[in-house]
Structure 1
Amino acid sequence: MTLSPARLLALFLCAGLAACAHNQAPCPPVAPGSAGADGLPDWHDVITDPDHVRLRDWRKAFVAGLDQARQGGHGAEIDAEGRLLDPDAGTDGATLPVGHYRCRTIKVGAKDTARTSYIAYPAHHCQVRPSDKLTRLVELDGLQKPSGRLYPDGPSRTVFLGTMILGDEQKPIAYGRDADRDMVGAVQRIGDKQWRMLIPDPAWESKIDVMELVPEN
């Protein structure tokens, strides 16, 4: 796991205190989501090791999924989506404003030959709402509803860390408790009032999930 400068500093200070203390009590761990230099929680302090690998390799998963879908005869559908399914379409302005969105998910590629390599689902309702010092993205309807916090990561990307709400569950489980439910995503702006969230190597079904987000108003 990559440690942020804030976490490295905290660990260094803690080690120094332990060395000079008369009663060397165990050093308490840095709380997940501890504030970085900008005062906001840092995703490096929260992300699990498997999700860190997925996030790092998002483009590799995207290209592999597109290649597999094209080989499966879905080239025209991919081309019709334009920038949404272009791995290099991201631009600055990745921060999702608070509000309601129409969100639809396309599953690209398949984890095994028994599954189709391209599935486009109807749009659902999503919301971006304040969450402490950050914001939270929540899908409001459907059988599989992502819910997670959005962490700033420069002008061209926001990092999503969350979990999947299944069926009639009323609230998400905490991130990091169940690897099959954990989700990591890279949010990018791809046009005027158009964003996407890339979910590489999800636990089930696809090579990558691509969620389009368009404001409802």
Structure 2
Amino acid sequence: MKRALAFAALGLTLSACSAMTPSGAVIDAPVRDWREIATPDDRARLRDWRSAFTAALQSARAAGHAAEIAREGALLDPDAALAGGAIPNGDYRCRVIKLGAKTPGMLDYVGYPAFTCRIGPDADLQSFAKMTGSQRQLGLVFPGDAMRQVFLGTVVLGDERRALQYGRDQERDVAAFVERIGPNRWRMLMPRPHFESQIDVLELIPSG
């Protein structure tokens, strides 16, 4: 099974507020089926996305964040996905909400201000890069089904200048669904990330 989703050298110069611009994502073979790329761990995380989402919401509500959850509307509704095809290429304002503490002592609800993300063409797939912030996901968006696409990639931390190869370090691998949840509004659901939370929800709104 082809699992060598590799990222070329990023050629970055990072500062506290600099943008991360990937030079591209490379797959060992030209496949469009994400199942031929995904690790067993990521297959399991994607399969259990709904139970992770509902458990995280329950934890956040129990910790006193029901009002914040209600205010986000469709963004934090597990059943909000709409049909509508692939997410368009372009620059996006992307805002992350972390739900459900992964370990005792962590917060059950953390909302971050908007960062910059980019969706772009990559052969017959799409690339995704979170350009700013201390946790920056980078990878490829694959066709999914009528309701969602699938993202596979890795996370770049802090002032790191290169992304790890997908599948090399399970702690850095990221698997997500990309869903449309309204007019010009999408989200990326990252179930059971290896850091901090039970699910990360990344809102995507075109910046133009």
Category of TM-score, reference length = shorter chain:
0.7 to 0.9
Aligned pairs, number: 184
Which of the numbers 162, 170, 191 marks the counterpart of 1:179?
Answer: 170
3-state DSSP of counterpart to 2:102: coil
Q: Which residue of 1 aligns with 2:13?
A: none
Counterparts of 2:182 and 2:53, CA distance in 1: 19
> Could you give the per-residue CA deviations for residues 76-111 of structure 1, whole angstroms, max 9, x where no partner exists?
000000000000000102511110000010000011
- Distance apart, 1:132 and its partner CA: 2.1
- Distance apart, 1:32 and its partner CA: 5.4
Q: Which residue of 1 aligns with 2:24?
A: none
Which of the numbers 70, 87, 93 marks the counterpart of 1:102?
Answer: 93
- Superposed counterparts of 1:1-217, under 5 Å: 34-35=30-31, 41-217=32-208
3-state DSSP of counterpart to 1:100: strand
Counterparts of 1:208 and 1:161, CA distance in 2: 15
- What TM-score comes out, normalization by structure 1 length? 0.81
Counterparts of 2:38 and 2:163, CA distance in 1: 17
Q: Which residue of 2 aligns with 1:6?
A: none
Counterparts of 2:147 and 2:162, CA distance in 1: 30
Percent of residue pairs identical: 47
Structure of greater relative contact order (alpha carbons < 8 Å, 6+ residues apart): 2
- What TM-score comes out, normalization by structure 2 length? 0.85
Counterparts of 1:140 and 1:132, CA distance in 2: 20
Amino acid at match of 1:102: R
Amino acid at match of 2:50: R
3-state DSSP of counterpart to 2:204: strand
3-state DSSP of counterpart to 1:68: helix
Amino acid at match of 2:97: I
> Could you give the per-residue CA deviations for residues 173-211 of structure 1, whole angstroms, max 9, x where no partner exists?
111111010000001100000000000000011010000
Amino acid at match of 1:161: L
- Distance apart, 1:213 and its partner CA: 0.2
Compared CA separation, residues 33 and 154, structure 1 to 2 (3 A) = farther
Task: Indicate conservation of the 8 Å contact 1:95/1:155, yes or no.
Answer: no
